[in-house]
Structure 1
Amino acid sequence: MAWLTLTNYALYFESLGVGSYDKPARYDLATDLKQVVKREMTGPLGTRLFDKAVMYKSTTITEPIFLEFPEFKGHTRRDCWLAIIREVLNMHRFIKKFNIKEIQREEVLSMAILGIFRYRAVKEAFHMAPSHFKSTLAFNLTEKLPKGDIILEALHSQLLLLHTGYQRHNTESVSNKSQAALLPASLLTLSRLGLMSLKDPYMTEEKDLSGWVVRVGVQSPLELALRESICHSGRVEAARATLDQVKVEGIDTNLAVMQALLFPLAELGKYLRFLSSWEDPFKSIMFLAVSLYVVYRGWISYMLPCSFLSIAIIMIWNKYRSKGKPLEGFQVTPPPNKNAVEQLLILQEGISQLETYVQAANIILLKLRALLLGAMPQILQLHNIWIVCGIWMT
């Protein structure tokens, strides 16, 4: 038996036994310890069979810990705990990043707590993981959304206005509702629910305080940041949908697509093989002369930077020449339909060919080792030496 407790500052794990009690292990989420929290697969004897665990790693522990959530079907409990743990962790990262203190810090903590309460309420109401209601966990959501850093900056600016209104509230007499509305809304909500006590006596006396004040028809920086993030989210989803469309099933089909994509490299390899076969002596002699001249002049070190520079120039040229036009599709010749047994046979044949290539590479490496160490076996004849030297030069 075990008892897992999550607070707004740390995670506690307490093992319970019959007639025994161990001190709970505490894993701090508030300090900067380079924590990593992610889903993990576990199983007996180190096997990865069940996707029902949460992995936690930080600089204070030597090895990562794994928290397993046994469940007969699915991984709903694990996903729920992972989401709220990440929410607390991301909340403290936001506080440390902008150095938030005093009433701002209390408001941020209250926002995260209310989000976790809403998340749990949805889960209990629908008896399922609220995957479509993750917007209740604000800080966890901004880590996944594009332009999430802009949303956090806008939220910090909003909190600065909150801090200004709170200072004015403590120094001056408040006579209208517009200044009172600048008080921390989430903190006041928790206080009304009896979950948090307020230190300021005036704030406890007010009963009709509302949230932040916004002017009608004027978008706040936070709303503008959210709108921009939503626009970029649509582009990201469109890109993911495009990637999902090009995913095909079957080993032979994927090999056919890869062959079509690598067609330019395959043509280049065929041309180099044509030059090395000396079918056209003039072209082979010219290629050999140019290669020897490049080696003699010491230009080999410039080949890689020049290649990258040429690729960059080609990319810029294609960008301005296309002028936003979509790319032309390339044709892929689909292989004939085959059953699972035939696909396995093709895979076995490919593995055999790969084994042959590895054996040939090992033979070349052994010959090079023999040349370098000067231990020439009798079976290594003179023509083999020239072959190896030619491979070394190319």
Structure 2
Amino acid sequence: MNFQEALRKLRTGNQEETSKSKAMTRENSPREGEMESSSSSSSSNNKNKENLNFFKSILFFNNNRSKKSDDSDSPKPLSFLSPLSNSVVSRCSRILQVPTEELQHRFETEVPDTVKQPSNYARNFLEFCSYQALHLVTTSPDYLNDKEFRRLTYDMMLAWEAPGVENESFNSEIESCSNQEMEGEDGWSLFYSSSTKTAVQVDDKKTVGPEAFARIAPACAVIADIITVHNLFDALTHSSSHRLHFLIYDKYLRMLSKVIKTVKNTTGSQSVSNLPLAEGEFILDVDGTVPTQPVLQHIGISAWPGRLSLTNYALYFESLGVGLYEKAVRYDLAMDMKQVIRPDLTGPLGARLFDKAVMYKSTSTPEPVFLEFPEFKGNSRRDYWLHACLEILHVHRFIRKYNLKGIQQSEALARAILGIFRYRAAREAFQISSSHYKTLLCFSLAESLPGGDMILETLSNRLVLLNASTSQRGSGGLLSPKEGMKLPVSVLALHRHGILGKGADDDGKAIYAAEDVCAGEINPLETVVKQSQQNMGRAQAAQATVEQVKVEGIDTNLAVMKELLFPLVESYNRLQVLASWKDPWKSSAFLVLIGYTIFRGWIRLILPSIFVIVAVLMLWRKHANKGRQMDALKITLPPTKNAVEQLLILQDAITQVESLMQAGNIVLLKVRALLVAALPQATDRVALLLVFAALFLALVPLRHLILLVFIEYFTREMPLRKDSSDRWLRRVREWWFRIPAAPVHLIKADDKKRK
């Protein structure tokens, strides 16, 4: 009997076999007659317990068998698995109602040969059984609240780290659960059976590593995403030496369940009716409803409290009126309106005092809107809303970039929504700041990582394959009635938790169209994310060296810059010495050498030769250093100056920059005067000069032009033509001074600020 038949049989009200099994399992009780008389009444009460009835449909042993026959049908341990792995596999076989031998046969026939290598056979088989069981267990809408589900998934992670019989050191620590822990309120448990004596008792000594968490947790789309699973592990273990304790994992899942229930209740609350929600739009979070934690909207110098709501398409702000909320203002996050969302400073009357605001700006808003989240210490509340809004903004940019439609768009949005749920659960469960871990939001992570565009491209390719697989089944992804609806994992998770309302999974027949995890195989997304994180690690290491060499003070930075530019400055000074003709023999030799090089057309080889010489020097230094650390650059510090002297230096530097800008403006205004013929004689001369220059450039080869320019510049200080050069330059300067500047009329702009 498979899971669907068990569920259908349970829904038709077949309670007779259940009561018989209860009587048979309690036949040794001293109050046998009393128990038999009460079986019919307990059968009628069980109809009202929806979640319990759901779990009882996945029976680990048939209720119409005796305890003796149940013990004889217990899953048999496999010789190649450790006791802990055998415990997990046996529980998976009871969930799937398939013997362990049959599971092993399926593994042998369904998976590729590369997965069945002896070195990883036990671990891959454990993954196969775990994924099959989790796909069935997660059909319940409230599985996160079941403590036995949390223990089972944690045991899967523990078993993944020690799957085979060769892990003796780990196996020696395994202890069996007591009968009290294995039994539920009706004498049986969903994940622990009295006939299975190898169930593991979770204690504080057993912890899970990052690789085990990354292989098991993404099998449940609500718990983790394949893109951010390592960041989630870091967030949960930042205070536990990078090992995951069961108490932390358990608290995270309970808080995640609470967050999902809160979102579900918010979707059906009265506050939703006040918002102009579109079809398929639902509220993810609401803030500002508590008087002690308001949300303030700043526009210009005005501020007003209100209620802020985030949906999967937009932000809504409802100003608080006289006891009522006014009509909501919608700030769109889905359309391409050049939205900008960033942290910013705000305060009363537009003063920039408190770093607790989110700035929103788009083409639909005439001026930036600041949403302030006041709190006494820190800005974690602001950071949460900032990251959540950016995640929705980024996922819609991803959808537009790759032109996703239909089920592809729904899956991308569902990934972002589940990421926000996980981020909110980790934040509320452990009260940790976002600065203690990397982002838990997959699309924001792709925007921040180097090579993040490759992550998004790989994800889009996965979604394209998803659409192709569903289209083969017909329009809308419909399968045959026996197979149900084919949905992607994230959309299916939201359906099963009731966030997307009633849909294809109402009859329990929806199946996965694509999976992020497969036994023994690495998801392409995981490979790209690991490569990007490695690049990020190298970038962060390089950035750490940058932070170490930053120095303060204008004079100190100038000293460092002079030392770094010393080779270039020294080369320029030597050229200046040659051009000054203080040593005629050296200057003549340099002039003949460079002139001959230009005349022969070798000038084009100078720059490539410099590059080759620099490359050879770098390789030689690499061979000579042989991995030794680079020597520190020695800088002679200038005399120390106090704050007033530093301000005077800064003022002098600003004055010099202003003078250079003034000189540049004067040159441009004089050129404008020449172009508009403000001085007719000068205009005639410039026009005639431009005509001769055009003819010269058209008739004379380029290398001859370069040669003439070089000879003219290099021989200015030559004793034979120094006087004539000085006289000619003087005449040019005098002519330039006589050219008037074009007039400028300054108009003061109107400063209209909103009051």
TM range (shorter): 0.7 to 0.9
**Aligned partners of 1:272, 1:361: CA distance in 2, in Å?**
28
**Contact 2:556 / 2:638 at 8 angstroms: preserved in 1?**
no
Please tell me the root mean square deviation across aligned C-alpha atoms, in Å. 4.6
**Aligned partners of 2:664, 2:501: CA distance in 1, in Å?**
77
**Aligned partners of 2:660, 2:503: CA distance in 1, in Å?**
78
Residue of structure 2 in register with 1:17 after alignment: 321
Aligned match for 2:343, one of 39, 63, 69: 39
Once the two structures are TM-superposed, the CA of residue 107 in structure 1 deviates from its matched residue by: 2.1
Residue of structure 2 in register with 1:234 after alignment: 537
Change (3 A) 1:260 1:21: same
**Aligned partners of 1:207, 1:232: CA distance in 2, in Å?**
43
1:73 equivalent in alignment to 2:381? no
Once the two structures are TM-superposed, the CA of residue 239 in structure 1 deviates from its matched residue by: 1.7
Change (3 A) 1:199 1:151: same
Superposed CA offset, 1:307-332 (max 9, x none) = 97677566655566666877954632
**Contact 1:8 / 1:109 at 8 angstroms: preserved in 2?**
yes
Once the two structures are TM-superposed, the CA of residue 21 in structure 1 deviates from its matched residue by: 5.4
Aligned match for 1:143, one of 432, 439, 447: 447
**Aligned partners of 2:390, 2:605: CA distance in 1, in Å?**
46
Change (3 A) 1:207 1:267: same
Change (3 A) 1:66 1:307: farther
Residue of structure 1 in register with 2:526 after alignment: 223
Once the two structures are TM-superposed, the CA of residue 162 in structure 1 deviates from its matched residue by: 3.5
Q: Kindly report which structure 2 residues correspond to 1:291-330, keeping only aligned pairs within 5 A, or say none.
A: 329=631
**Contact 1:119 / 1:133 at 8 angstroms: preserved in 2?**
no
**Aligned partners of 1:270, 1:58: CA distance in 2, in Å?**
53
**Contact 1:35 / 1:58 at 8 angstroms: preserved in 2?**
yes
Residue of structure 2 in register with 1:348 after alignment: 648
SS in structure 2 of the partner of residue 14 of structure 1: strand
**Contact 1:146 / 1:232 at 8 angstroms: preserved in 2?**
yes
**Contact 1:57 / 1:65 at 8 angstroms: preserved in 2?**
yes
SS in structure 2 of the partner of residue 18 of structure 1: coil
Change (3 A) 1:273 1:149: same
**Aligned partners of 1:255, 1:213: CA distance in 2, in Å?**
54
**Aligned partners of 1:312, 1:45: CA distance in 2, in Å?**
58
Once the two structures are TM-superposed, the CA of residue 145 in structure 1 deviates from its matched residue by: 0.9
Superposed CA offset, 1:184-215 (max 9, x none) = 22223222322112432xx3222796772744
Residue of structure 1 in register with 2:389 after alignment: 85
TM-score, length-normalised on structure 1?
0.74
Change (3 A) 1:159 1:204: farther
**Aligned partners of 1:336, 1:207: CA distance in 2, in Å?**
77
Superposed CA offset, 1:272-291 (max 9, x none) = 66467665466678999999
SS in structure 1 of the partner of residue 384 of structure 2: helix
Amino acid corresponding to residue 450 of structure 2 in structure 1:
P
Residue of structure 1 in register with 2:423 after alignment: 119
Change (3 A) 1:288 1:160: closer
Q: Kindly report which structure 2 residues correspond to 1:183-332, keeping only aligned pairs within 5 A, or say none.
A: 183-200=487-504, 203-206=505-508, 212=515, 214-271=517-574, 274=577, 279-280=582-583, 329=631, 331-332=633-634
SS in structure 1 of the partner of residue 337 of structure 2: coil
Once the two structures are TM-superposed, the CA of residue 143 in structure 1 deviates from its matched residue by: 0.7
Residue of structure 2 in register with 1:333 after alignment: 635
TM-score, length-normalised on structure 2?
0.41
Change (3 A) 1:54 1:281: farther
Residue of structure 2 in register with 1:170 after alignment: 478
Amino acid corresponding to residue 312 of structure 2 in structure 1:
N
**Aligned partners of 1:68, 1:172: CA distance in 2, in Å?**
52
Structure showing greater radius of gyration is 2
Amino acid corresponding to residue 525 of structure 2 in structure 1:
L
**Aligned partners of 1:174, 1:217: CA distance in 2, in Å?**
29
**Contact 1:80 / 1:129 at 8 angstroms: preserved in 2?**
no
**Aligned partners of 1:82, 1:233: CA distance in 2, in Å?**
22
Choose 274-283 or 45-54, whichever is displaced more.
274-283
List gaps (5 residues or longer) in structure 2.
Answer: 1-304, 683-725, 737-755
**Aligned partners of 2:458, 2:664: CA distance in 1, in Å?**
61
**Contact 1:30 / 1:92 at 8 angstroms: preserved in 2?**
yes
Once the two structures are TM-superposed, the CA of residue 241 in structure 1 deviates from its matched residue by: 1.9
**Aligned partners of 2:665, 2:586: CA distance in 1, in Å?**
30
Change (3 A) 1:68 1:236: same
**Contact 1:122 / 1:130 at 8 angstroms: preserved in 2?**
no
Once the two structures are TM-superposed, the CA of residue 31 in structure 1 deviates from its matched residue by: 1.4
**Aligned partners of 2:639, 2:619: CA distance in 1, in Å?**
41
Residue of structure 2 in register with 1:60 after alignment: 364
SS in structure 2 of the partner of residue 171 of structure 1: coil
SS in structure 2 of the partner of residue 136 of structure 1: coil
Superposed CA offset, 1:37-74 (max 9, x none) = 12223345655443222222222233332222233333
Change (3 A) 1:113 1:287: same
**Aligned partners of 1:315, 1:137: CA distance in 2, in Å?**
44
Choose 233-242 or 310-319, whichever is displaced more.
310-319
SS in structure 1 of the partner of residue 335 of structure 2: coil
Change (3 A) 1:310 1:213: closer
Change (3 A) 1:199 1:91: same
**Contact 1:183 / 1:212 at 8 angstroms: preserved in 2?**
no
Choose 100-109 or 7-16, whichever is displaced more.
100-109
**Contact 2:318 / 2:327 at 8 angstroms: preserved in 1?**
yes
**Aligned partners of 2:367, 2:606: CA distance in 1, in Å?**
44
SS in structure 1 of the partner of residue 411 of structure 2: helix
List gaps (5 residues or longer) in structure 1.
Answer: 376-382
**Contact 2:361 / 2:368 at 8 angstroms: preserved in 1?**
yes
Amino acid corresponding to residue 72 of structure 1 in structure 2:
F
Amino acid corresponding to residue 235 of structure 1 in structure 2:
R
Higher relative contact order, structure no. (Cα contacts within 8 Å, ≥ 6 residues apart): 2
Superposed CA offset, 1:259-307 (max 9, x none) = 211223432454466467665466678999999x9xxx9x9xxx9x999
Choose 212-221 or 267-276, whichever is displaced more.
267-276
**Aligned partners of 1:367, 1:111: CA distance in 2, in Å?**
58
SS in structure 2 of the partner of residue 59 of structure 1: coil
Aligned match for 2:456, one of 152, 163, 168: 152
**Aligned partners of 2:470, 2:405: CA distance in 1, in Å?**
13
Amino acid corresponding to residue 360 of structure 2 in structure 1:
Y
**Aligned partners of 2:661, 2:451: CA distance in 1, in Å?**
48
Residues paired across the two proteins, number: 370
**Contact 1:119 / 1:134 at 8 angstroms: preserved in 2?**
no
> Between the two proteins, what is the percent identity of the paired residues?
45
**Aligned partners of 1:328, 1:233: CA distance in 2, in Å?**
23
Residue of structure 2 in register with 1:380 after alignment: none
Aligned match for 1:106, one of 393, 396, 410: 410
**Aligned partners of 1:112, 1:183: CA distance in 2, in Å?**
17
Change (3 A) 1:392 1:144: farther
Once the two structures are TM-superposed, the CA of residue 8 in structure 1 deviates from its matched residue by: 0.3
Once the two structures are TM-superposed, the CA of residue 155 in structure 1 deviates from its matched residue by: 1.7
Change (3 A) 1:306 1:156: same
Change (3 A) 1:108 1:357: closer
